[in-house]
Amino acid sequence: MKSEDFMKLDDTYAAHTYHPIEVVIERAEGAWVYDVDGNKYLDFLSAYSAVNQGHCHPRILAAAEAQMRRVTLTSRAFYNDQMGPFLKQLCELTGYEMAVPMNTGAEAVETALKIARKWGYQMKGVPDNQAEIIVCEGNFAGRTISIISFSSEEQYKEEFGPLTPGFKMVPYGDADALAEAITPNTVAFLVEPIQGEGGVNVPPAGYLKRAAEICAAHNVLFMADEIQTGLGRTGALLCSDHDGVRPDVVTLGKALSGGFYPVSAVLADRRVLGLFRPGDHGSTFGGNPLGSAVARAALDVLVDEGLVDRSREMGAYFMGRLRRIESDHIKEVRGKGLLIGVEMASLARPYCDELRDAGILCKDTHATVVRFAPPLVISKDEIDWAMERIEPILSNGHQ
């Protein structure tokens, strides 16, 4: 079958919740992906930052294969020999005392919202059912009913009501607005250190630090959604590290499994996560031995291959080259590490389609932004290969 045949199948049998770039991928390795028609591409999306370690990393593959032969799922009705070592490794790497293992990013965010409310009622004395959580305009945290309830995108919410109450929205990057929105019932502030899906929005310098200080002063949990920005993507282990901020609660997902399997987690200290009691929360697959073994290998790769430093170095090189493109079509190049957005003067999608034809896979976000987020294993030579193709498409003289 050719690409068109597969796309037709999707069109017929898959609900139309996406508008994919027209390429049908059949295999991938490192930063490269291959389509069913025999074309190869450099991946500049990394499954929205889930394959930071590169596609089909052999070490993660070996761990997955070995674990699949031993035991894959026990449920949390029993202990298994993978989850504890995984969470110890994750807590030691990030400097937190405890974690809740989940599967998707949205589940991790839901878990964070639940523990924030519980903490508010138990530790802050907020009256029953009055807890408020402050979020930012332009946020993206997943697709569950509660998460879309605090989205600023009308389409995400339209015809999906009734929505979950208890959220307040403030402009992103405005610490004064956060301070003004806090009431005695505010339990948490949920923020992405860089808004990924919102258009690779980098907040003003000092914003996260001030926001964290404001939260601390008002006994409000500072919760960083690092599902897209975490695990090296921005050139620091957590994007919050750039600002010297230690969030009270962190959500991780995506690259926690190197793209092999959905693994997410919520991290916090015992004073917060210690409030969960048996029966309060759970998931059939969360913390399962296969996911845990995969995540252990994914974290090993991140550390052993120095991918955080590599992201910072390659990101600086790549962003420098993008910024030197002379073009009236480009309004701004922004980002950190290998999470880069190029704001175009017009719709980004036609550029993404042309880039695909040239062998570069990326996806528009927020209408006018081309997002470049390759696997962190990408080499300088591969970036040079890409720039030879990106530059003519984004530069002046190109229609």
Annotated catalytic sites, by residue?
A: 140, 225, 254
Q: With binding defined as CB under 6 A, does residue 149 bind ligand PXG?
A: no
Give the nearest distance from C-beta 358 to ligand PXG in angstroms.
Answer: 23
Token pair belonging to 274: 């210690």
Q: Nearer to ligand PXG by C-beta: 325 or 374?
A: 374
Q: What's the Cα-to-Cα distance from 85 to each of 200, 282, 287, 322, rounded to whole Å?
A: 34, 19, 11, 41
What does the alpha-carbon distance between residue 242 and residue 238 come to, in Å, rounded to a whole number?
Answer: 8
Q: With binding defined as CB under 6 A, does residue 227 bind ligand PXG?
A: yes
User: Which residues in the 45-84 window bind ligand PXG by CB under 6 A?
Assistant: 48
Count of residues that interact with ligand PXG, criterion CB under 6 A: 15
Q: With binding defined as CB under 6 A, does residue 261 bind ligand PXG?
A: no
Q: With binding defined as CB under 6 A, does residue 105 bind ligand PXG?
A: yes
What does the alpha-carbon distance between residue 137 and residue 173 come to, in Å, rounded to a whole number?
Answer: 9
Q: With binding defined as CB under 6 A, does residue 120 bind ligand PXG?
A: no
Q: Which residue has the tokens 């929505």?
A: 163
- Select the residue whose beta carbon is closest to ligand PXG and give its number: 105
Give the nearest distance from C-beta 264 to ligand PXG in angstroms.
Answer: 7
Token pair belonging to 305: 């291959």
Give the nearest distance from C-beta 310 to ligand PXG in angstroms.
Answer: 21
Give the nearest distance from C-beta 164 to ligand PXG in angstroms.
Answer: 16
What does the alpha-carbon distance between residue 148 and residue 224 come to, in Å, rounded to a whole number?
Answer: 17
Cβ neighbourhood burial of 311 (10 Å; 0-12, 13-18, 19+):
buried
User: Using CB under 6 A, which of 42, 51, 60, 109 touches ligand PXG?
Assistant: 109
Could you count the other beta carbons within 10 Å of the beta carbon of residue 369?
23
Q: What are the respective helix, strand and coil percentages of the chain, to the nearest 5?
A: 40, 20, 40
Among 116-124, 139-147, 240-248, 273-281, the segment contacting ligand PXG (CB under 6 A) = 139-147
User: Using CB under 6 A, which of 35, 110, 225, 364 touches ligand PXG?
Assistant: 225
Q: With binding defined as CB under 6 A, does residue 192 bind ligand PXG?
A: yes
What does the alpha-carbon distance between residue 289 and residue 274 come to, in Å, rounded to a whole number?
Answer: 23
Q: With binding defined as CB under 6 A, does residue 141 bind ligand PXG?
A: yes
Q: Nearer to ligand PXG by C-beta: 132 or 197?
A: 197
Q: Nearer to ligand PXG by C-beta: 104 or 368?
A: 104
Q: With binding defined as CB under 6 A, does residue 263 bind ligand PXG?
A: no
| Greatest extent of the chain over all pairs of C-alpha atoms, in Å | 63
CA atoms within 13 A on the CB side of 101: 29
What does the alpha-carbon distance between residue 227 and residue 250 come to, in Å, rounded to a whole number?
Answer: 9
Q: Nearer to ligand PXG by C-beta: 20 or 306?
A: 20
Q: With binding defined as CB under 6 A, does residue 104 bind ligand PXG?
A: yes
Give the nearest distance from C-beta 30 to ligand PXG in angstroms.
Answer: 22
DSSP, residue by residue, 270-282? HHHHTT--TTSS-
- Which residues of the shown chain bind ligand PXG in the complex (CB under 6 A)? 48, 104-106, 109, 140-142, 192, 196-197, 225, 227-228, 253
